[in-house]
Amino acid sequence: MSTQTATHPDLSATPSSSESARDLPPAIGADSGRLDVMGVGGIAYYKDVSGEGPGVVLIHSVNAAASAYEMRPLFEAFRGRRRVYALDLPGFGRSQRGDRDYSPSMYTEAIERFIVDVASPQGEPVDAVASSLSSEFLARLAVRSPGLFRSLTLLSPTGLGPERSSGGLAQTLLHNALRVAPVSEGVFRLLRTAPSIRYFLKKSFVGTVDEGLVRYSHLTAAAAGGRFAPVKFIDGALFTPDAMRTLYEPLTVPTRIVYDQDPYTRFDRLDSLTRANARVSAHRVAPTLGLAQFERTSDVVAVIEAPVTPAGAVT
């Protein structure tokens, strides 16, 4: 495990597909480090430990251009007040990329090792925050190792819409097609263009899209080896088929779900979840479209720091 002090991010560089992920500018202007985990690879992270109290661990979503930059507004909000950490998941940002077996269990292991080895080596429970699909990875870990956590906050989590089908023939054909290198390369090349990134991000903002996020997403998507993890996401291989029953209903850790409208995620079964599990509460932060941490930062921070709700309720 190594650490260094990062300067304020320089996002003026022109992205190059040959650039190593480790050569990317930092997503957050803070101390940075790298944790090497057997079977997972190198995990890049950012930290500010000038604050006090339980640590806050921030976990970005999974998409074609994901990175810790997605959690930058929350990192800045907690900086100096709480010990705060943000990581780049394997295959994204400045973490190790390449053709490996990306899976829910791999991401769960990465988050666990990061919490145990970096964010809380003394075993003090942390407040963990995850976005979209990463909520499933975090919930999986919390079910398995609840003692690691003081609370969970899930931002627009996946797995609460209609039950997922097996996908049938169409999913099989997509899976087989994406296993062909020229096909997956072509798909990812289209997704990582600046117009494509801007198009998809604009769908997640009620107001003006955050230009820093657009620029950094373009940079990180262009780094060498960046297609492999996103292709697994597109293929559907990173989703848990029955996340509500296997990941969310068994949670014993106090869990807050932040939601509103989201073009990529539905919450049809959220009411059912809060009724089934009294440790889960739902908090509507509106108007937002999936990136509430950018447009309603203070509201999201208030949810993260709110007293534990004793019984499931929608607010």
Structure confidence by residue, pLDDT tens digits, 91-118:
999 999 988 889 999 999 999 999 999 9
Q: How far apart are CA 280 and CA 308, in angstroms?
A: 9
If we measure between CA atoms, which residue out of 225, 293, 286, 284 comes closest to residue 258? 284
Cα atoms found within 13 Å of the Cα of residue 315, Cβ hemisphere only: 15
**Average pLDDT over the chain, rounded to an integer:** 87
Distance (Å) of CA 82 to CA 47, 56, 89, 94, 281: 11, 7, 22, 24, 23
Confidence of residue 230 (pLDDT cuts 50, 70, 90): confident
Q: In degrees rounded to 5, what are phi and psi of residue 279?
A: -85, -5
Q: What is the pTM of this model?
A: 0.89
The reply to whether CATH 3.30.450.20 applies to domain 2-8+17-305 is no
Beta-sheet strand order (sheet of 280-284): 2-5, 31-37, 41-48, 84-87, 56-59, 126-131, 149-155, 255-259, 280-284
Residue range 248-274: average pLDDT?
97
Distances (CA, A) of 306 to 254, 255, 271: 11, 11, 20
Instruction: Quickly count helices (H) and strands (E) in the chain.
Output: 12, 9
pLDDT, tens only, 29-61: 999 999 999 989 999 999 999 999 899 999 999
pLDDT above 90 for 194? no
